[in-house]
Homo-oligomer: A and B are copies of this chain.
Amino acid sequence: MGHSPSGEPMRQGGRLARRARRRRLLLWAVAGIFLVGISGYRAPASEGLRVSDPVAPVAQNAAEQAAAAPQSGGQESGAHTTARFLLIIVAILMVGKFSGELAERIGQPAVLGELLGGVILGGSVLGIVPTAPGDPMAEMVHLLAEIGVVILLFEVGLETDLKEMFRVGKAAAVVAGIGVLVPFLLGAGYWYFADPDLGAHPEGVSLTKIALFVGATLTATSVGITARVLSDLDQMRTREARTIIGAAVIDDVLGLVMLALVVGLAAGTDVTVGTVTWTLVKAIGFLVLAVIIGNFIGPHLFDFVDRLRVRGVLLVSAFCFALLLAALADISDSAMIIGSFAAGIILSSTNQFDLVDERIEPVADVFTPIFFVSVGAAVNVRLVLPWTDEFNTGVLVIGGVLTAVAVAGKVVSGFSVPWEKMNSLAIGVGMIPRGEVGLIFADIGRRGGLLSDAVFSAILIMVMVSTFITPPLLTWIFRRDGRSEWPPGPIGGC
C-alpha cells in the first residue's frame, strides 16, 4: 500500500481497495498514453529504420557527405532531434526496467528481461530503437551503449579482488581453463567441419575466421549473472559458490584476452600463429601494464582527487578514469572493456574504493541497460517466427546446437576437479550462463561484418537460453541436496 504518510486506520480497507483500483486504472492509462505517444511520434522519422533496409554507411562518412549538402532549417529539426532522442532513451530505460522486473518476478535474472525488451523495441518488431548503421540516431544510442558496457566492466573490475582470485587457487583455475577450452574447441570444430551456414558467409570472410569467432563467443561465463543467481539462491557462502565465482572471474579475464583476438579478427587481420600470439601479448600486456602502472599511480591520484572539494569530483574522476583507460585500450588495438576492467581493478585498491563503488552505481543504472536493450534490439526476431516471410529454420537449428555445445562444455568443466570433495554438477551448471562478454563478442562480430544477421541471432539464442536455464537448474540441484528454499525471499529494492 505504498508508504502513505497519513497513516489511516485499518478498518478503512474498502476505501484503500477502491483507491488501489483507481491507481491501477491510472497507471494503465498513463502507460497507454505513453506507448501511443511514442509510436505516434516516431512514425514520421522511422520509415527508413527497419533492419531489412539496405545497409547505409557509418556516421563518419555521413559527416563528409553532409559538408557538401545544403543547409536546412537548423533549430527546428535540431529541437525535434533532441525530443526524439530523449523519447528513445526513455523507451529503452523504461521497457528495460519493466521487463527486467517481470523477469525477476518469474525467478529469472533481470538482464534476460532487458534483452527481451530490446528485441521488442528493435527494428524487427516495434522499430522504436533505431539500429540501421547509417542513422545518426542509431550511432548516438550506440555510443551511449558503449559507455554502458564500459561502466559495467568497470564495476566488475571494482568487485574483482586480485588477491582473492589468486587464493581460490588451483580448482578455480582448472575449472576456468577447461570451461574455456572445451566450448571453444567444440564450437569452432562444429562450425569448421559442419559449416552450418552452408557457405553463406559475409563477403571476403573465411570459414576459419568465422569458426574461431563463433568458438570465442562460447567461452566466457558471465560473472555478473552467475553471482546474481547464487546470491538470489542464498548459496554465496558454499564452497561450490566460491569455486564458481573464482572460476568465472578467471574465465572472464581469459574471455577478455580472447576478445582482443576477436577484435583483431573483426578488424580484418589475417589469422596466423604470429598474429594470434601478438594479439594475446598486446591484450595481456595492456592489462598487466595498466594494472601495474595503475597500482603505482592510482592511489596517489585518487588521494589527490579526494582533497579537492568541488561537488562530485571523486565520482567524475573515477568515471573519467574508466573512460580514459577504455579509450587508451582501443587506441592501442586492445579491447575497450579490457581498459575499463583494468581501471576498476586499479580503483578497487585505493582508499576511495567504497565511495566510488557507491556513487558509480546510479550512473551504471542509467547507462548499462542501454547496452543490453540495444543488443536485444539488433536481433531480427522474424528469423525464428514461422509466420513471417523471413523465417529461417537454420537459425533455430544452429542456435540449438550452439546452446547444446555451450551447456555441455561448461558442465564438463565442473567434473574436471574430481580430487576436490564438491558437488561437481552444481559447479558445472553454475558456469553455464553466458552474458555481457558473449553479447559483446557477438555485437563486435555483427558490427564488423563478420557475422551475418542469422548467425548473430543464433548466438543470441545461445546466450539467452544458457542464461534462462541456469536459475531453475541450480535451484533444482541445490534443493535436491536440501540446502535451498524456493522461491527465495525478496531480492532487495532499488
Across the two chains, which residue of chain B brings its CB closest to A54? B67
Q: Is the CB of B67 within 8 A of A66?
A: no
Q: Answer yes or no: A78 CB below 8 A from chain B CBs.
A: yes
Q: Answer yes or no: A110 CB below 8 A from chain B CBs.
A: yes
Q: Is the CB of A366 within 8 A of B365?
A: no
Given A93-B320, A494-B355, residue A72 in contact with residue B60 (CB < 8 A): yes
Q: Answer yes or no: A434 CB below 8 A from chain B CBs.
A: no
Given A62-B136, A110-B311, A351-B5, residue A57 in contact with residue B85 (CB < 8 A): no
Q: Chain B contacts of A5 at CB under 8 A?
A: 351
B58, B62, B84, B309: the one contacting A65 at CB < 8 Å is: B62
Chain B min CB distance to A367 (Å): 9
Q: Is the CB of B30 within 8 A of A301?
A: yes
Taking the full assembly, how many copies of this chain does it contain? Answer: 2
B68, B135, B330: the one contacting A63 at CB < 8 Å is: B135
Chain B min CB distance to A331 (Å): 6
Q: Mark A302-317, 1 if CB is under 8 A from B, else 0.
A: 0110111111111111
Q: Is the CB of B58 within 8 A of A317?
A: no
Across the two chains, which residue of chain B brings its CB closest to A81? B60
Q: Which of A96-104, A186-194, A282-290 contacts B (4 or more CB under 8 A)?
A: A96-104
Given A74-B447, A312-B494, A315-B362, residue A136 in contact with residue B355 (CB < 8 A): no
Q: Is the CB of B62 within 8 A of A69?
A: yes
Q: Mark A465-493, 1 if CB is under 8 A from B, else 0.
A: 00000000000000000000000001111
Q: Chain B contacts of A161 at CB under 8 A?
A: none
Chain B min CB distance to A375 (Å): 16
Q: Answer yes or no: A233 CB below 8 A from chain B CBs.
A: no
B74, B142, B365: the one contacting A315 at CB < 8 Å is: B365
Q: Chain B contacts of A73 at CB under 8 A?
A: 268
Q: Chain B contacts of A351 at CB under 8 A?
A: 2-5
Chain B min CB distance to A223 (Å): 16
Q: Answer yes or no: A125 CB below 8 A from chain B CBs.
A: no
Q: Is the CB of B75 within 8 A of A267?
A: yes
Q: Answer yes or no: A181 CB below 8 A from chain B CBs.
A: no
Q: Answer yes or no: A146 CB below 8 A from chain B CBs.
A: yes
The docked-state distance in angstroms from the alpha carbon of A135 to that of B59 is 9
Chain B min CB distance to A311 (Å): 7
Q: Is the CB of B27 within 8 A of A86?
A: no
B100, B303, B323, B362: the one contacting A86 at CB < 8 Å is: B323
Q: Mark A445-458, 1 if CB is under 8 A from B, else 0.
A: 00111000000000
| 26 CB < 8 A contacts A-B | A2-B304, A2-B307, A26-B300, A56-B66, A56-B67, A60-B81, A62-B63, A63-B134, A64-B69, A75-B267, A86-B146, A86-B323, A86-B327, A86-B336, A87-B323, A90-B323, A93-B320, A94-B316, A101-B309, A104-B310, A312-B361, A312-B366, A315-B366, A362-B362, A363-B363, A363-B366
Apart from A63-B135, A81-B143, A311-B494, 20 more pairs, CB < 8 Å: A56-B66, A57-B74, A58-B74, A59-B136, A61-B69, A63-B137, A66-B134, A74-B449, A75-B444, A86-B147, A86-B323, A86-B326, A89-B147, A90-B320, A94-B320, A306-B493, A309-B490, A313-B494, A314-B493, A315-B362
